[in-house]
């Protein structure tokens, strides 16, 4: 696994909305109607209970994540790493950052859905301590099955 030269993680800026939306369309929503438009990403950036994380390796985004925070649970809505940056620790570092932030906010668990056919992402999340909980046929616009995943993050004392 080769490491990126310099990776900086931080909160997304309003100017990032369009690039995040395009990355979502190309890397996550392929073959589906485009729902994470620049306007929707911008609305999420403005929400107090939503965190939009970016990973930068220079000018372009190496990756991004959008996570909503509830009282006890966080929902990871979007998570993507640019193909040329995959398998270099970007996703792992972003997920560690999100997990630490969720713990600081008092969150007990992180939940997410992903396409059943996305075997690479399923393997990644399993390696990061997530468990598959249920399959939801037709979740993606009535056509594709989703796998719901869960990870408890709060240490019990």
Residues with catalytic function: 113, 125
Question: Would you list the DSSP string of 90-102?
Answer: HHHHHHHHHHHHH
> Within the chain, where are the H helices?
17-27, 38-46, 90-104, 119-127
**Alpha carbon distances (Å) from 119 to 86, 96, 115, 133, 146:** 14, 21, 8, 15, 12
Round to the nearest angstrom and report the end-to-end CA distance of the chain: 36
């Amino acid at each position: 696994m080769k490491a990126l030269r310099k990776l900086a993680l931080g909160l997304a800026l309003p100017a990032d909305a369009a690039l995040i939306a395009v990355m979502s369309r190309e890397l996550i929503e392929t073959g589906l109607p485009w729902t994470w438009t620049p306007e929707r990403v911008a609305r999420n950036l403005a929400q107090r209970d939503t965190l939009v994380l970016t990973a930068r390796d220079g000018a372009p985004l190496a990756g991004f994540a959008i996570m909503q925070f509830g009282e006890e649970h966080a929902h990871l809505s979007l998570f993507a790493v640019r193909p040329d940056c995959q398998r270099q620790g970007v996703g792992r570092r972003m997920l560690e950052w999100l997990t630490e932030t969720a713990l600081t906010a008092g969150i007990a668990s992180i939940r997410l859905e992903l396409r059943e056919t996305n075997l690479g992402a399923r393997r990644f999340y399993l390696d990061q301590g997530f468990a598959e909980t249920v399959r939801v046929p037709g979740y993606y616009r009535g056509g594709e099955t989703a796998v719901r995943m869960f990870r408890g993050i709060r240490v019990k004392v």
